[in-house]
Structure 1
Amino acid sequence: MTDPPGAGGHQDLAVLDLLARRYADDPLVERGTMFRGPGLRVGGKIFAFLGHGDRLIVKVPRRRADSAVASGAAEPVTMGQRTMKEWVAFPAVADDAPATERLWLSAADEAYAYVKSLGGS
């Protein structure tokens, strides 16, 4: 699936605010943008951002990305004709804001830990 630039709606930004507060104790975490979508960085490296169509896009280890896509929990992220091997998109859960929040918090926590382990600290 192709990920056109842009961010999700107002509800998505509220979840991004929640994520930002979640990592407020880490001075290395800051807001940033990726492909014109608002997101979060740790140590200058993006670990999560809002994609078009109510999706949270995160960076996780390749095996985890493959597993999440294979299980149907996430979608692959394609930029142009290239599938990004460590990036996956978690769509919002239809008509269930609390379930979306739980899913996205979990995905962001995993991405934060992974990217930070890559030298973001």
Structure 2
Amino acid sequence: MSRSTNRPSSPEHSGEDAGRDLYDELTDDLLYDPAIGRATMMGYPCVRLAGVFLASYDERNGLVVKLPGERVAELIRSGNGEPFAPAGRTFREWVAIPVPDRELWTELLREAVDFARGSL
């Protein structure tokens, strides 16, 4: 069901639905690791590694991943990412990737898993 009567309900007409579909597909691929599971973060779907949040998805920001601060800055400088600032507070180790891009999202999810493993 569409959240708004002004939005098309079919995925082929909505970038938001296409982004969510891609997020679900790519994060499904991570679930081979028993330490990785689904949860919610700030009301949005996310994946965690042994309880450590590593990625989320929301309609406004697209894919949101936790990475080292230097990598976040690099993605923002390159134009591939945007600062993640819910409620106006920027999270230094989180970056939003609003445009669905299978290759980039796959790479960043792998990086997020590696970063989460390093924090355990």
TM-score (norm 2): 0.79
Alignment of 1:88 with 2:89, yes or no, is no
Structure 2: which 5+ residue stretches go unaligned? 1-14
Tell me which residue corresponds to 2:72: 65
- Secondary structure of 1:27's aligned partner: coil
Q: In structure 1, what is the Cα distance between the partners aligned to 2:58 and 2:111? A: 18
TM-score (norm 1): 0.78
Q: In structure 1, what is the Cα distance between the partners aligned to 2:87 and 2:66? A: 18
Compare the two structures and name the one with the higher strand fraction.
1
Structure 1: which 5+ residue stretches go unaligned? 1-7, 94-99
Aligned-residue CA RMSD (Å): 1.7
Q: What does residue range 1-121 of structure 1 map to in structure 2 within 5 Å?
A: 9-53=16-60, 55-93=62-100, 100-119=101-120
Q: Following TM superposition, where does structure 1 have runs of at least 4 consecutive aligned residues deviating by more than 6 angstroms?
A: none
**How many percent identity over aligned positions?**
30
Deviates more, 1:62-71 or 1:10-19: 10-19
The answer on whether the counterparts of 1:49 and 1:58 sit within 8 Å (CA) in structure 2 is yes
